[in-house]
Structure 1
Amino acid sequence: MYNFFFALSKKLKLWFGLVILILASYANLGEGARILAVFAFPGKSHFMMTKAIISELTRRGHEITLITAFPINEKLSNYKEILIEPVYDFWTDITKHFGVKTIFDLSELDVIGYMKILEILGVATTDHALKQPKVQEIINASDTINKYDLLLAEQFYQEAFLPLAIKYQIPVITACTFGYANFQSQMMGVLTPWSFVPHTFMPLDDKMTFIERIYNTVFSLYEDYFREIIYFPQQDELVKKYFSHLPIEIPSVSKMEKNISLMLLNSYIPLNTPRPAVPAMIPVGGVHILKPKPLPKDIKEFLDGAVDGAIYFSLGTNVRSADLPKEKLEFILDVFKNMKQRVVWKWEDDKIPKLPPNVLVKKWLPQNDILAHKNTKIFITHGGLMGTQEGIYHAVPMLGIPIYCDQSMNMKKAEKYGYGKAIEFKTFTREDFEGTLNELLNNHYYRENAERISQIFRDRPRTAMESAMYWIEYVIKYKGAPQLRSAGADLPWYNFYLLDILTILVLAPLLTFTVLLIICYKTIFSRKKNVTIVKIKKK
């Protein structure tokens, strides 16, 4: 009997301890921070990362005020949403500027053209968001002391929101939805070697030829010039327009950007080029990838019945498959019709002409859940960062049709590591499309590499979300993170790139040589003159 009660007592102690731990965890959640989050850019793919981070922060007990172009559409506690309405259609501005009809027509732009795209969308969407009445209430609020503990903002051409950190006297964390970029060099105070780190918008890898290094250096230098001389002054004008009436001193956008505490980067090895970084640059690539949810019944039945495998086709949230040129659409459908695999295709219009029976089309598709299905064998993609991360996470080989910006570089990595192949949009033919698709389906090389890279991408000391939460709470805990900041961020550009030192190193020898040349010239001229005088005296 004694043993029975002794054992029972031990169990009660264990249960009591467990209850204490649970209550303690809830107590910690109750001490959450107050975070002002600004993710105003109206890009649906970008919002995937935003939604994942914000949802997790509220789950951990933090109080969130989110300025956003899209609703979360979830019941979250401690959450206030300031919706930017209507959603700004920046693609109309871009296609009008370049005189094109669809995004497909932008596929031949160079780096300078892509930067112009970012300039247009950055200025227009930020202006549209700042003028919103509820955003104006936050800008003009009188109760600013201890109102928020952190400004969490997207690092994507929305810099005119940074004065909110000065108004509320709080540190800043930015979330960079497109991963590493060369322009982060100056703002984070770390030199990026252009000799082996390719520009985000160039279809290069870290093994560049001499000519490629020239192009990479020229375009990287131009980006620094573009941001400081062309783009930032426009964001400064927005700051002046919406914040200049406040009784606070606001530095330039360029200076504010260099004073963020930490940056969360949507990137992770091996999907990014290894490069120098500072401790304040935290890679959390794939943070948007959540546990797969059950598929809708019709999609599940369609994929379950794909005994020979299935192909998932999506060109993302911005590029519309429905805008494909007629001749390309016709031969793509004909290739699908003659395949034994089934195809699930994100198609934005109500119907598609001459749809084969083995093709299922829908305006919206749960991409992550489809890629996680065991029968999905190939992912036909435009090469966007979010999609390629999901494809790698689920070890699905990719056929890439890159259109603009970083998509070509993303598919260059896929070819380098052997988990995908790319075809050029403007020039690809039926033979190119069919041949590449069959190679990816029938050659085990691509599946094996996808599985290997997937394993590397998943293998981390913390999950992407755990890393993001740790560092966000770290900055909140210490009210900033100057200990992570590089002094290089304080240097003017000519000091940062050592141009002052290079100038001395070049000019000093040149000046010395010039002085010696002058001395030699004068010495020789003087001797000739003396010889002439002596000859005249002798005569």
Structure 2
Amino acid sequence: MQLKDGSRLLLLCLLALQQFDFNAGARILAPFVFPGKSHFMMTNAIIRELVKQGHEVTFVTPFSLANEKLGANYTEILIKQWPIWPTLLKLTNAKSIMDMTDMSTEEMLKMVYIMGLESTDFALEQPEFQKLVHAKDKVGKYDLLLAEQFYNEGAYILGHLYQIPIVTITTSAYHNVYDSFVGTITPWSYSPHLYKPYTEHMSLTQRINSIYTCLLEEAIRAFWYYPKQDAIMRKHFSKIMPVVPTIKQLQRNVSAILFNSYMPLESPRPLAFNTIPVGGLHIKPPKALPANIKKFLDEAKHGAVYFSLGSQVRSADLPPEKLEIFLKVFRGMKQRILWKFEDEQLPNLPANVMVQKWMPQNDILAHPNVKVFIAHGGLFGTQEAVYHGVPVLGMPFYADQYLNIEKGKNAGFTLGLDYRYITEEQLRSSLTELLENPKYMANMKRASKVFRDRPLSGMDTAMYWINYVIEHRGAPHMIAAGVDMPFYQFYMLDIVAIALALVLLPTLALCLCCCKASKNKKQKLH
């Protein structure tokens, strides 16, 4: 009897072992060439998780992770950083990033597309990138290309050369321009342009303005941006390839897009099967705070306010008169203020204010005594505030920050200020409202519950779909037929033309007949 039981147990163990795939780790090439530091909050989190799950990752990056010692499965190819901020300040004639508040949407579009062209050209000519291009025996070396869905589509050439599918990651919310390369049509009537501070409930004027911007961007991409990117591709690859694929052709090899948003920060919209919301995947369980910050927050009997303008906007660059407004208001508050401030020697610092040039934002927002977050409206910080349930006082400076703050205002957990015109009374009044009116905290707690309530976490969702695309060799069954349709078919312009012809041609024929009959009648009268 014991022998039978032993045999049965051995058989069950063998069957169980068969369920494990000891060669499950895929080989992933991940070129992320745009040197936007904040973008790598999401990118680095994904790279770490892929390595943790046993995948072999070759990471092409301007920001090293070598000091994290990720192990034998991690290979890093470090490339030079394109000089992002000197270039952007020169393009915009701005003295600092804060001056970008005055930029129009048209100027912003021009800036990001020039930025994309120049940073792509710079990355493709780097020796480290060229080494990947000229490597021998490329086919079969990798299973997937993981890249950023930004303005560096030229990096997708590696997917073409290594004959592997592509999964892209966008660190922003869904952008209407993605429609053409995922094969869907977004209703512009309630889905505003990403750089417009409008919600899905737009007025007539707002809809006109948003649709105009969407059309303008489509025109920029079709008649200027794509031809420029194609020229860059020919510049770098025409000598080694008889036919250099266009950017549009490279985009057709994208199997899935992981975009950085989720309800309630993303409004309902039509999405293709291969367009996956993974917002908040960078958020980790809070770690223990540094002793000085923990003590400062623990002893905040009346609560605390956390103030940070992110990784790109520096509080130290605020004009002196604006700094004085903040210091005066903070000095008169009973709450404590944690301020990410790049100059730790800030003079006349009130006793209730602590400044440091770096602070662990996610861990701070998780502290129960933090009651308000003064922020610039960047998407990562907004997601962290929603996740931890902390109302926001937003001061946007550029890009999608206006939209993020407007969404928060519409949902009732954010108030907004324009730093250019901020007054002592406005700041004091806004902070008092957020701290003392319980509706903002209640609205934020509801939003936090929605943001957290999903079948899989953002990271687990991203891992599932990356693995899915690898397992199904590009998962072509997820790609909509619209990807391969020409522009006029995709937007049904041929059907519209036929419909107009069916209506107008008989009308025109009738008019001609009437004119001819009238002419004949006049001739008979004469």
Report matched runs for 1:32-431 at 5 Å. Answer: 32-72=25-65, 73-77=67-71, 78-85=73-80, 87-247=81-241, 249-431=243-425
Shift of 1:160: 0.6
Q: Is the 8 A contact 2:33 2:62 kept in 1?
A: yes
SS at match of 1:191: coil
Unaligned runs of 5+ in 1: 533-539
Contact 1:310 / 1:344 at 8 angstroms: preserved in 2?
A: yes
Change (3 A) 1:361 1:491: same
**CA distance, structure 2, for counterparts of residue 390 and residue 279 of structure 1:** 27
Query: Aligned in 2, Cα 1:506/1:327: closer, same or farther, shift over 3 Å?
Result: farther
Q: What whole-Å deviation, never above 9, does each CA across 1:50-102 have from its counterpart, x for those lacking one?
A: 111111111111000001111223121200111122x3331211111221101
Residue 472 of structure 1 corresponds to 466
Aligned-residue offset at 1:257? 1.3
Please state how far the C-alpha of 1:343 moved relative to its aligned partner: 0.9
1:37 touches 1:152 (CA, 8 Å); kept in 2?
yes
Using the size of structure 1 for normalisation, the TM-score is: 0.92
Q: 2:437 aligns with which of 443, 447, 451?
A: 443
Give the superposition deviation at 1:492.
Answer: 1.8
Contact 2:315 2:342 in 1 (8 A): yes
Judged with a 3 Å threshold, the aligned counterparts in structure 2 of structure 1 residues 163 and 216 are, in CA distance, closer, same or farther, namely same
- Cα distance in 1 for partners of 2:329, 2:103 equals 29
- Partners in 2 of 1:507 and 1:412 — Cα distance? 44
2:47 partner amino acid: I
Matched AA of 2:264: P
Quote how far apart the aligned CAs of 1:510 are. 2.9
**CA distance, structure 2, for counterparts of residue 388 and residue 24 of structure 1:** 44
Identity level (%): 47
Question: CA RMSD of the aligned region, Å?
Answer: 2.3
In the TM superposition, what whole-angstrom CA distance separates every residue of 1:397-425 from its partner, at most 9, and x where no partner exists? 00000111111110111011111111123
Q: CA deviation at 1:507?
A: 4.2
Distance (Å, rounded) in 2 between the aligned partners of 1:259 and 1:516: 50
Letter in 2 for 1:43: G
Name which of structure 1's ranges 441-450 and 238-247 shifts more when overlaid on structure 2.
238-247
SS at structure 2 position matched to 1:261: strand
Moved more, 379-388 or 96-105: 96-105
Instruction: State the TM-score, normalized to the length of structure 2.
Output: 0.95
- What is the alpha-carbon distance in structure 1 between the residues aligned to residue 293 and residue 77 of structure 2? 34
Give the secondary-structure state (helix, strand or coil) at the position aligned to 2:102: coil
Cα pair 2:200 2:267 within 8 Å, conserved: yes
| Kept after mapping to 2: 8 A contact 1:58/1:79 | yes
The residue matched to 2:176 in structure 1 has which SS? coil
How far apart, CA to CA, are the structure 1 residues paired with 2:46 and 2:383? 17
Q: Given that residues 90 and 124 in structure 1 are in contact (C-alpha distance below 8 angstroms), is that contact kept between their aligned partners in structure 2?
A: no
Do the aligned partners of residues 18 and 76 (structure 1) sit closer, same or farther apart at CA in structure 2, a change above 3 Å counting? Answer: farther
**Which stretch shifts more, 282-291 or 247-256?**
247-256
Comparing 468-477 with 89-98, greater Cα deviation is found at 89-98
SS of aligned partner of 1:162: helix
Aligned to 1:31: 24
> Between Structure 1 and Structure 2, whose CA radius of gyration is higher?
1
Which stretch shows the higher mean deviation, 428-437 or 307-316? 428-437
Q: C-alpha distance in 2, partners of 1:90/1:226? A: 22
Letter of the structure 1 residue corresponding to residue 134 of structure 2: N
Paired residues of 1:84 and 1:132 also in contact (CA < 8 A) = yes
Q: Unpaired segments of 5 or more residues in structure 2? A: none
State the SS of the aligned residue for 1:183.
Answer: helix
Deviation at 1:350, TM superposition (A): 4.3
Instruction: Output the CA distance in 2 between the equivalents of 1:238 and 1:348.
Output: 38
Is residue 165–residue 254 contact of structure 2 (8 Å, CA) maintained in 1? yes
Q: Within 5 A, what are the aligned runs for 1:453-472?
A: 453-472=447-466
What is the distance in 2 between the residues matched to 1:335 and 1:84?
A: 45
**Which piece of structure 1 moves more, 496-505 or 114-123?**
496-505
